[in-house]
A and B are shown apart, each in its own frame.
Chain A
Amino acid sequence: MNPTRSPESPQPPGPQAVDAGSQALAEALRSSFAIVRFVMVLLVAVFFASGFRIVGPQEKGIILRLGRPVGEGEAALRGAGLHWSFPYPIDEFIKVPITEIQTLRSTVGWYAVTPEQELAGTEPPVVASTPLNPATDGAVLTADGNIIHSRAILRYRFDDPLRCVFGFTGGTNGAFTLTGVSNAVLNTLNNALLRAAAEFTVDQILTRDVVGFQDAVRRHFERLARERQLGVAVEQCEVQSRPPRQLKQAFDDVINAGQRRSKVLNEALSFANQVTNRAASEAAAILNGAEAQRTRYVETIAADAKRFEGLLTQFQSNPDLYMEQRLVQTMSRVLTNLQDKVYMPERGDGRTRELRLLLNREPPKPKSETSP
């Protein structure tokens, strides 16, 4: 067909007589050519439109241009919304489910407990003095070769998302998730817990250095994460520990003994307070007494001395008279106060009178003295 038409085509179609058959053929060709063209345009359009992608709220998009991510660090992550990239094989748009803070719980070192029991705060029953089955119940070995339960709860975020996505695989090639890095983080956390427990004794972990143990777990984890370039940053690391449930009674006994000890100590302290306070108050009383005595004594002597000076002049003027007066004054005062007064005049003949006294023990009468 063409060879016959081509020599004529440079000239515009003149008013030549064309047969109806070839005209119909040309018509058909033109219309099918239009369809082909339409399909071609559509294909190109579809090719470029395939570059549109929608990123959801819980995920991030990363554009790989010729296999390498576009942008560095946080800038490489496309947030939620509509994005466009060149179609494969120039660009590739991948979506990664990623949330802000991740929480992981260590999987070794704790006894078997179902999530329901965990939520309800209960635990599976255990019989005292039965061994621990390592296949079901986890435990960590402490520095002193003992067994206790311990678990770490780690909150972390992806510090270097590109490292997390392109450094660790979730198991299937072409899938970009963070399960791979989470798995590595979990193993590292378990490892850190074991290492920390291997350095601490039971008592340090459970009572004496709880915070120190927690810090050690975090320290080990951070060091290992750095060495392995996990690309995560720790937000919080919390460690729970408890003695084997089979030994609950023995451990409780120690706690009780500790409480009894502090009770005994408190009692002793309060006794000590009492004793020292009483001694202090007694000492104060003694001192006050002595002060009072001193004052009284000095005052008395001073008063006596003063009076003495007054009396001296009287005395010196007539000693005998003075003495007589004073004696009589005193005697009269004394005699008024006396309970019994017995007057015995001298015998007429001047001989000594004999006086017999009967001292009786009861009733408690005043003792008498004789003065001949």
Chain B
Amino acid sequence: MKRHTLTLLIGTVLVLIFALLLFVFQVRQSEVAVVTTFGKPTRNIAEPGAYLKWPWPIQRVYKFDQRIQTFEDKFTEGLTADNNNLLTMVYLGWRIVDAKAFFPKFAGGSVQAAERMLEGLLSNAKGAVVGRYNLSDFVNADPERLKFDQIERDMRAMVEAQLSTNDCGIKIEFLGIKKLGLPESVTQTVFERMTSERQVLVSRLQNEGEAEAERIRATANRQAAEVLAAAEAEATRIRGQGEARAAELLPVFERNPALANFELRLQALEQALKDRATLIFDERTAPFDLFQGFRTNRNSK
């Protein structure tokens, strides 16, 4: 008896498990699913969880990855509004949001087919949007005039507009320019322009350097002259000070100008006859006036 209940229990569990596997399916967080009844899409599942269904062949479940897929288009050449050839490559992030709408649009819900369609839309949008802008809207040192964001927004809006005309269950998550380039023939001219820009820079550096060096030298010379002039002025002032101080002492000499003059003359005499001088004199000059006295007394003193 006991053995029977145990057997029964195990049997029930097994049946339950088989039923679960047969009637229940799970939708992951990363997925959306659509249930078809005899081939006709009937139920749309957007939330993760476990769901019931009738076993095949009544109902079938098609699950789609609803995570963002990224793809990029080709690096193609387009004409900007100001007639520049510009190569662009755009990448696109999209995802399936509505399995029921997505499933019947593409054969067997093929993601590749969806991507091909998106590529078509994207290349249309890209060509149209690039033609609306100037090259200076793509690259510009002035952030006010740079329209990179706007260009990307326009492309996205255009792709979304085309998508919304027929509901594909697809949502565009992001779109951006991946690569910008100039055609090979244009690069040659750009290189030439860049070379001449470099040459301008070289000559400017040279000239600037020389001018600056000249200015430095001139400034230094001027400063030196100023310093010297100031020193001269100061020296004159110092000498003047000395003379003023000396002048204070002059009254001493005024006490007897005769003596002062005599002393000065003596000094001058001594200075004048200091060296390499020849003096011719007669007996009237002291001390040779002594000779006079020997011969005659005629002369005074």
Residues of chain A touching chain B, judged by Cβ–Cβ distance below 8 Å, are: 33, 37, 40-41, 43-44, 47, 64, 66-69, 88-90, 92, 108, 129-135, 138-147, 165-169, 171-174, 176, 180, 183-184, 187-188, 190-191, 194-195, 197-203, 224, 227-228, 243-244, 246-247, 250-251, 253-254, 257-258, 260-262, 264-265, 267-269, 271-273, 275-276, 278-280, 282-284, 286-287, 289-291, 293-295, 297-298, 301-302, 304-305, 308-309, 311-312, 315-316, 319, 323-324, 326-328, 330-335, 337-346, 350, 353, 355, 366-372
Contact = CB atoms under 8 A, between A and B. Distances in A.
B148 A195 contact: yes
Contacts of B143: 199
Contacts of B230: 283
Interface string B174-187: 10111111111101
Given A131-B185, A190-B178, A338-B277, A169 B30 contact: yes
A302 B242 CA distance: 11
Contacts of B58: none
25 contacts: A44-B14, A67-B31, A133-B184, A134-B184, A143-B146, A166-B30, A187-B93, A194-B178, A198-B138, A200-B141, A244-B191, A261-B205, A272-B217, A275-B224, A279-B227, A286-B235, A290-B238, A297-B242, A297-B243, A305-B249, A326-B263, A340-B277, A341-B279, A344-B280, A353-B282
A293 B242 contact: yes
B213 A168 contact: no
The size bracket of the interface on B is 35 or more
A147 B198 contact: no
B187 A134 contact: yes
A67 to B, nearest CB: 3
B260 interface: yes
B219 A272 contact: yes
Contacts of B136: 145
A307 B198 CA distance: 82
Interface stretch (B34-42, B68-76, B117-125, B156-164): B68-76
A272 B235 contact: no
Contacts of B281: 341-344, 371
Contacts of B253: 305, 308
B206 interface: yes
Contacts of B287: 328, 331-332
A187 B178 contact: yes
B242 A247 contact: no
A37 B9 CA distance: 11
Nearest to B210: A264
B67 interface: yes
Contacts of A326: 262-263, 266
A327 B69 contact: no
A328 B287 CA distance: 6
